[in-house]
Structure 1
Amino acid sequence: MGAGFALLAVPSCRAVGSPLVMDPNSICRKTKRLAGKQAELCQLEPEIVQEVAKGTKLGVRECQYQFRFRRWNCTSHSKYFGKILQQDIRETAFVYAITAAGVSHAITQACSMGELLQCSCELTRSRAPPSPTAGPGTEGTAWEWGGCGDDVQFGYEKSQQFMDAKSKKGKNDIRALIDLHNNEAGRLAVRSYMRTECKCHGLSGSCTLRTCWRKMPHFREVGDRLLERFNGAFKVMGGNDGKTLIPVGDNIKPPDKQDLIYSADSPDFCSANRKTGSLGTRGRVCNSTAMDTSGCDLLCCGRGHRDETVVLEENCLCRFHWCCVVQCRKCSVRQELSLCV
């Protein structure tokens, strides 16, 4: 199995409800199964491994959000999820990218929050001043770096160190090259889209000085961007030298570093199949009027759907009582659902 997914494949990771729950202490107890750099992190920087675990969970949750209306919905069922990771399909490419991005994002955020001794805010003293943005009151404004910028390079390097360790050992293997590429695409979806935020300083609301810092994109933006790459993913094959990847098809440009790549076609995920990691779509909620992937025609694979009325309980008539309790009643709500047959 490929890059960094000792995390998701060995007993250090278990499905406890949803999403996938990872125990960093268990990960580090299994250091004999980990590559050298991973074992080194466990021994010397266990707090980093804790953020690795958080970042992987962040990535899996985002995967489940992005695929919530698709036939494969990034299920965290361990037996089925593991089968997905053993293949080299588009869905696997997305999982590798989003989890590598999640690890980078989580570690960087922990640095900015002061939760790690190894890092803090980004050093911006040598950076060129930010470009002024057009807007009222910004003419003649002085600029300087300040605040707490996100040290995304530290998060990028730690994600690379942990997630790429296994694949680097066999980097002439085509599968390893694909996994390394998709890991990098995930990290770049964070690092390449840093934004500049500024705050005005001055008397009476004037903006005589602007202090600026760099922030990571919100992780939902990262997920949205990687889903676009998933939809346009490149199918590749190995070159004769065993070290290069060639796009499959005529007149196709080579994928760039931010593209997702795969080498095998995905199953249709219509029926349950443990070999492919498909849970099928029977019983899934669908939208009977939608024409996209959430629509009953596509999600139910042409098998049709049934309409069902369910009664749900939810909080209602909530009141705030001083101080500081919110009391709610339980109300029954009838809801019409369409379910795949």
Structure 2
Amino acid sequence: MRIPLSRIQLALFFILLCPVNIIGLWWAVGSPLVMDPNSICRKTKRLAGKQAELCQTQPEIVSEVARGARLGVRECQFQFRYRRWNCTSHNKYFGKVLQQDIRETAFVYAITAAGVTHAVTQACSMGELLQCGCEATRSRAPPRPPAAGPGEPAGSGEGGKWEWGGCGDDVEFGYEKSKQFMDTKRRRGKSDIRALVDLHNNEAGRLAVKLYMRMECKCHGLSGSCTLRTCWKKMAPFREVGDRLLERFKGASKVMGGNDGKTLIPVGHNIKPPDRQDLIYSAESPDFCQANRKTGSLGTRGRTCNSTAMDVSGCDLLCCERGHRDETLEFEENCLCRFHWCCVVQCKKCSVRKELSLCH
């Protein structure tokens, strides 16, 4: 039976991508060839150590790892939707970007590591994994609760009693599983610096979830007195994680390897060393203006731009100063929808015109 070329290309990309990591796994999962965690483990024969152990003993966690990787790539596509490189899902081009050590690659590694942390942690809280559940809070000393806000009942601030309860997110478990599966084994030789950069960006992604937990509380008491407040820790919505990492992407630091092969040094004078939450890279990005398979650039020809914006979505920047054309497109959409008891929604079709600006 003849296999479609796209599937062969996906398989080749998966095999050739080095080192083996969750990004490669994501492409395998996203292809028609691999749809379940057992297949992931069969396809990744080069996995070793903790990764192989997870595959053999905890396939349900591998399933959440794959879901987290997809979550990360979808967020990448949202955050980069107006940029010249828009985190394309075209595997041939995406793979070329991952093989470079550029700023965009740093974001992909970070957001994917964050996605795995978020997905595994959420699965724990939802009771979908036997290995974990809600966060254990018995031994934790209760910190000072926030002061009562405007309109909150008396006693809900610092003077009110409160205790840990509810179902807090066990982010430590998600963090550890992400680290086990995402962090590749450090190799000796020329790949040392690249491995250090990848490991750093993976950690930055996980910390974007772990360090920004928020406290949620519920009041208890007669007549809304809030004499007791039950509180728990929850992760921020993943969109906030993506927003946070995009800011780190904008301020990413260029680094080079130290003489010992084990340290990273910021490039340039009077530049502070990047901290654990910063994204780092060692090579300059291509401009992504023209299609180029070697760099993974699809180019920006035909992309929709904003003719009035002055930011990255503006036609001048997105079209690389090649100019743009304005087109009027007409399409149909549902309109004048009515709900009929019970339970049908009936809509009419309306013709809508939309003005679009497209890059030359």
TM-score class normalised by the smaller sequence: over 0.9
* Structure 2 counterpart of 1:5: 21
Match of 1:238 among 257, 271, 288: 257
Number of equivalent positions: 336
* Structure 2 counterpart of 1:330: 349
- Distance across 1 between alignment mates of 2:346 and 2:199: 51
Query: Is the Cα contact below 8 Å between 2:216 and 2:234 reproduced in 1?
Result: yes
Report the AA paired with residue 129 of structure 2: L
The structure-2 alpha-carbon separation of the partners of 1:170 and 1:95, relative to structure 1 and needing over 3 Å to count, comes to: farther
1:329 positional shift: 1.7
- Distance across 1 between alignment mates of 2:84 and 2:44: 36
The structure-2 alpha-carbon separation of the partners of 1:239 and 1:151, relative to structure 1 and needing over 3 Å to count, comes to: same
Cα deviation, 1:47-72, whole Å, max 9, x if unaligned, reads 00000011000000100010000000
* Structure 1 counterpart of 2:359: 340
Describe how 1:279-298 pairs up with structure 2 within 5 A: 279-298=298-317
Report the AA paired with residue 290 of structure 1: A
The structure-2 alpha-carbon separation of the partners of 1:117 and 1:294, relative to structure 1 and needing over 3 Å to count, comes to: same
1:328 positional shift: 1.4
- Distance across 1 between alignment mates of 2:69 and 2:26: 14
1:7 positional shift: 4.2
- Distance across 2 between alignment mates of 1:260 and 1:22: 31
Report the AA paired with residue 315 of structure 1: N
Query: Is the Cα contact below 8 Å between 1:308 and 1:337 reproduced in 2?
Result: yes
* Structure 1 counterpart of 2:64: 51
Query: Is the Cα contact below 8 Å between 1:156 and 1:187 reproduced in 2?
Result: yes
- Distance across 2 between alignment mates of 1:29 and 1:75: 27
1:206 positional shift: 1.1
Gap regions ≥5 residues in structure 1 = none
1:35 positional shift: 2.7
Cα deviation, 1:220-272, whole Å, max 9, x if unaligned, reads 11000000000000000000000000000001111000000000000000000
Q: Which runs of 4+ in 1 moved over 6 A?
A: none
* Structure 2 counterpart of 1:178: 197
* Structure 2 counterpart of 1:250: 269
The structure-2 alpha-carbon separation of the partners of 1:170 and 1:102, relative to structure 1 and needing over 3 Å to count, comes to: farther
1:15 positional shift: 5.4
Report the AA paired with residue 12 of structure 1: A
- Distance across 1 between alignment mates of 2:200 and 2:188: 14
Match of 1:95 among 108, 126, 130: 108
* Structure 2 counterpart of 1:86: 99
* Structure 2 counterpart of 1:144: 163
Q: Report the aligned-residue RMSD.
A: 1.8
Matched position secondary structure for 2:70: helix
Query: Is the Cα contact below 8 Å between 1:2 and 1:179 reproduced in 2?
Result: no
Matched position secondary structure for 2:186: helix
1:13 positional shift: 3.9
- Distance across 2 between alignment mates of 1:304 and 1:183: 38
1:39 positional shift: 1.6
* Structure 2 counterpart of 1:117: 130
1:132 positional shift: 2.1
Report the AA paired with residue 323 of structure 2: G
Matched position secondary structure for 2:74: helix
The structure-2 alpha-carbon separation of the partners of 1:64 and 1:11, relative to structure 1 and needing over 3 Å to count, comes to: closer
- Distance across 1 between alignment mates of 2:29 and 2:263: 32
1:27 positional shift: 1.1
Match of 1:107 among 86, 96, 120: 120
Query: Is the Cα contact below 8 Å between 1:14 and 1:22 reproduced in 2?
Result: yes
Match of 2:147 among 130, 134, 137: 134
The structure-2 alpha-carbon separation of the partners of 1:313 and 1:35, relative to structure 1 and needing over 3 Å to count, comes to: farther
- Distance across 2 between alignment mates of 1:278 and 1:142: 57
- Distance across 1 between alignment mates of 2:300 and 2:220: 56
Gap regions ≥5 residues in structure 2 = 1-16
The structure-2 alpha-carbon separation of the partners of 1:237 and 1:101, relative to structure 1 and needing over 3 Å to count, comes to: same
Identity of counterpart residues, as a percentage?
79
Query: Is the Cα contact below 8 Å between 1:4 and 1:163 reproduced in 2?
Result: no
Query: Is the Cα contact below 8 Å between 1:313 and 1:333 reproduced in 2?
Result: yes
Matched position secondary structure for 2:45: helix
Instruction: Name the stretch that deviates more: 323-332 or 186-195.
Output: 323-332
Cα deviation, 1:179-226, whole Å, max 9, x if unaligned, reads 000000000000000011111000111100000000011101100000
1:130 positional shift: 2.9
The structure-2 alpha-carbon separation of the partners of 1:52 and 1:170, relative to structure 1 and needing over 3 Å to count, comes to: farther
Matched position secondary structure for 1:33: coil
- Distance across 2 between alignment mates of 1:262 and 1:223: 18
Cα deviation, 1:282-341, whole Å, max 9, x if unaligned, reads 000000000000000000000000000101211111111222221212211010000000
Matched position secondary structure for 1:12: helix
Report the AA paired with residue 148 of structure 1: C
Query: Is the Cα contact below 8 Å between 2:80 and 2:86 reproduced in 1?
Result: yes
Match of 2:322 among 284, 303, 324: 303
Match of 1:212 among 231, 245, 249: 231
